[in-house]
Structure 1
Amino acid sequence: MAQETPQKSPTGFAGSVDGLQLADVLQLKGHNRFSGCITVEYGTAQGMIFFRDGEIIHAEQGKATGVTAFNAIICWPGGKFAIQPKVTTTSRTITESLNYLLLEAHRLMDEAQAGIRQPQPEPQQESRRSLPGIAERALAVPGVTYAVVTDSSGVPQQDGTFEAESLARQGMALTRIGNSLGGLFGVGAVKSAAWQGGNYQLLLFEARNNYLCVAVQGSSQLGQVETDLRAALTARKQG
């Protein structure tokens, strides 16, 4: 269980959030190297997420702790939060990075929606024929499992499959993280980004107010796939 330092009065600040906004709060606290606790309430459910020097180290929700508790909290569709910089814990149940936790939580939300929604089956060949040319070229690169072009708001272009929608959402999550970092370091909006995981990897490229989101096999060398992908796209432009 978490150990909290006693408080005579509330500290920090409170507000109302939805799932994406809570991710923004967590990302900001990570950038600020926050130490303390963020408590979240959704209906009668309550959760706690603990930071130490900008990294999430522990979470509690009901009887669950660690990553399981974190995912339960971040997947709530709404709620209220309070930031408590004087509330600490000696527990360490989470070792994953903040960026990994957020991207993995988005993946789980996508999978949960996939279990509810019943997408219309489409033959793979017909689905891919309707893709923009840049996505088709990306799919030809070894290691790439899927690719989708989205507009600036994350809407897939010429691809109405659930797979495209899921990849687009993950790409937008990576974009938001990159833009947050770009704002902090004064380098502007993200132009390209990469996320590397054990079983799943992402590449993202910005082009003319659109984004190319690319899913890469977890067993592939992400750097090599990115190099091959850039070469394929550049060669087409020059041709």
Structure 2
Amino acid sequence: MSALESELSKAIGDEAEQACVPEHCYYCFDTLFCALTRKKPVSPKFPDGKYPLFVTWNTRSSRPGKPHRLRGCIGTFEPHPLREGLSEYALISAFRDSRFKKIEEWELENLECKVSLLTDFEDAENYLDWTVGVHGIHITFPHPSLIPIAPSPSSAPSPLSSGSSLPTRSVLKHTFSATYLPEVAEEQGWDKIEAIDSAIRKAGWNGRISEDLRRAIKVRRYQSSICAVSWEEYARWRTTNGGSK
């Protein structure tokens, strides 16, 4: 077990499970609002336990029933004290997600904030050893040119490993990695293979996705406690707690 995994197990195991609550999202909204307006923040009152976490910003659709659009999402698998981690990643996901422009003040009224506290990390036995709608996945895999080809290559899905030894090439030491939070596969309507293949692309591999590549993937599955609030909910909370608009 790595030092990070040991710390993660201790952080989760030594404390009672803490559900994600609206106050976590209000705190993220307050951090972003005050960063953009230079207003004085409201002091947080929730317990400051350590958790891996993700902060997601969505733009709400003006049309009823239409899905929200992702505006920024970044987090960490390293356990952080909640107050420090939420404030840090509220701004990182708002300003430094390379897929999007920085969030600006005029956008606040159309935003939704979603916080995910990550729990129950486990090493999956294979790339199919997880459940859509229950588990998030964090995948890692070597450069595909280093993956040995099975004696009888097959395109049929199989959880069996394609081999335990990889040839060594100093020029190709890059490891690909990506993650999807537990709700993503279900929201996208993906099955396990579609989610894995999408994660492979997200990790940066643009070549052919073979069954040997899928079998070489190491999957760490996890669960999460999630809460989301709208700008209107946050604005009411800030007023109730003495914050200026």
TM-score where L is the length of structure 2: 0.29
Q: Normalization by structure 1: what TM-score?
A: 0.30
Higher relative contact order (CA 8 A, sep 6+): 2
- The structure where helix makes up a greater share of residues is 1
